[in-house]
């Protein structure tokens, strides 16, 4: 069966038959590397040095390349998934933190936190084709499934900015909870979910009307509210379930997207930051920055089944067929 591409919030997953092996690429912010973890053995099989302070990480739609935002080197490094070597770089602008790739893989949208802008890069020519001014400290980036709309979140401005992908113009902004860190479209494009780290909530936005439809808050027995800091979000392909990384609460929330109810909190490692689903959606990987590990979660049971040590302060993950 030919592998098919799926884009989930800046992490592109190539999926195939259940007998295929997958590799999780994990960016390690402090050890300046990415760890490659086999999803069958759930063990690190290789470590690649990529430069200073790697954070955002995505794969090309065909799974042939991994792009890594190397923040302190002010660049995006390109890793060939076949040779597992760094084979080039892209001009990212200053302090790239997070990015998303267009559905066709032709453009990369980079949040430049220090410059208060989004940089648009042509992947083939390696040229910057636009620099878009946005709010203060931009971080989250999402691209709609049809590739027409980009959403960027700015931490200090507490807004989600809607950008027209054709004109590279900001076409609207929505005020949301404090310190928005991540944005993601539902698979059918009907909603944008934005996590507010300090606000402790998820804002669900209508991308057409550009207004908040619903706000989801969290509560974990025995934890103070300030410990619950949502960051990364992933959806199942059918859009019926969402997983949210809750930072220093060390939990992943499971949400029924029809009722907006939290159905479960899964205990994982320390300061869970971002998430990645495997192609067959049987496993969810949480990236736990302060315990230097990732947790594998069985999605049928929504239970943690394995913890694997990676590099220092892991930040993000992307999963591809290998």
Phi first, then psi: give them for residue 293, nearest 5 degrees: -150, 175
CA separation for the pair 296, 251 (Å, rounded) = 13
Give residue 177's pLDDT band: very low, low, confident or very high (50, 70, 90): very high
Residue 211 has pLDDT above 50, yes or no: yes
297-300: Cβ within 8 A, 24+ apart = 297/252, 297/266, 297/268, 299/236
Local confidence band at 20 (pLDDT 50, 70, 90 cut-offs): low
What are the chain's domains? 4-321 (2.130.10.10)
Return the pLDDT at 21.
79
For the stretch 25-36, pLDDT in tens is 999 999 999 999
Q: 293: which 2 tokens?
A: 């590990």
Query: What is the pLDDT of the chain when averaged over all its residues?
Result: 93
Judged against a pLDDT cut of 90, whether residue 19 lies above it is answered with: no
Q: Which residue has the higher pLDDT, 315 or 16?
A: 315
Average pLDDT over residues 252-256: 98
- Residue 12's pLDDT is 37
Averaged over 78-84, what is the pLDDT? 96
What share of the chain in percent tops pLDDT 70? 94
- The mean pLDDT value for 137-164 works out to 96
Average pLDDT rounded to a whole number, residues 244-272 = 98
Amino acid 125: pLDDT:
97
Residue 16, pLDDT score: 34
pLDDT band of residue 321 (cuts 50, 70, 90) is confident
Q: Which residue has the tokens 């691209």?
A: 143
Q: pLDDT, tens digit, for every residue of 41-77?
A: 999 999 999 999 999 999 999 999 999 999 999 999 9
């Amino acid at each position: 069966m030919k592998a098919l591409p799926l884009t989930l919030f800046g992490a592109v997953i190539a999926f195939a038959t259940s007998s295929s092996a997958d590799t999780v690429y994990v960016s390690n912010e402090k050890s300046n590397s990415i760890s490659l973890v086999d999803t069958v053995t759930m063990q690190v099989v290789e470590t690649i040095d990529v430069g200073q302070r790697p954070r955002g990480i995505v794969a090309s739609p065909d799974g042939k390349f991994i792009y890594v935002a190397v923040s302190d080197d002010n660049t995006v490094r390109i890793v060939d998934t076949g040779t597992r070597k760094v084979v080039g770089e892209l001009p990212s602008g200053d302090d790239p933190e997070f990015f998303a790739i267009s559905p066709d893989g032709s453009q990369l949208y980079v949040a430049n936190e220090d410059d208060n802008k989004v940089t648009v890069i042509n992947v083939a020519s390696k040229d910057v084709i636009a620099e878009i001014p946005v709010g203060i400290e931009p971080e989250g980036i999402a691209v709609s499934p049809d590739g027409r709309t980009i959403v960027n979140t700015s931490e200090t401005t507490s807004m989600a900015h809607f950008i027209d992908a054709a004109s590279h113009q900001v076409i609207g902004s929505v005020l949301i909870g404090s310190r928005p860190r991540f944005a993601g479209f539902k698979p059918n494009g009907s909603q944008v979910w934005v996590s507010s780290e300090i606000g402790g909530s998820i804002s669900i936005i209508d991308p057409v009307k550009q207004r908040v439809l619903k706000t989801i808050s969290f509560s974990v027995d025995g934890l103070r509210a300030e410990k619950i800091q949502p960051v990364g979000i992933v959806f199942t392909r059918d859009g019926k379930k969402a997983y949210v990384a809750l930072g220093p609460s060390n939990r992943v929330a499971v949400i029924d997207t029809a009722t907006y109810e939290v159905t479960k909190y899964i205990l994982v490692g320390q300061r869970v930051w971002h998430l990645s689903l495997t192609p067959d959606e049987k496993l969810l990987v949480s990236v736990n920055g302060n315990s230097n590990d990732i947790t594998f979660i069985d999605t049928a049971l929504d239970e943690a089944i394995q913890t694997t040590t990676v590099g220092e302060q892991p930040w993000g993950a992307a999963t591809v067929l290998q």
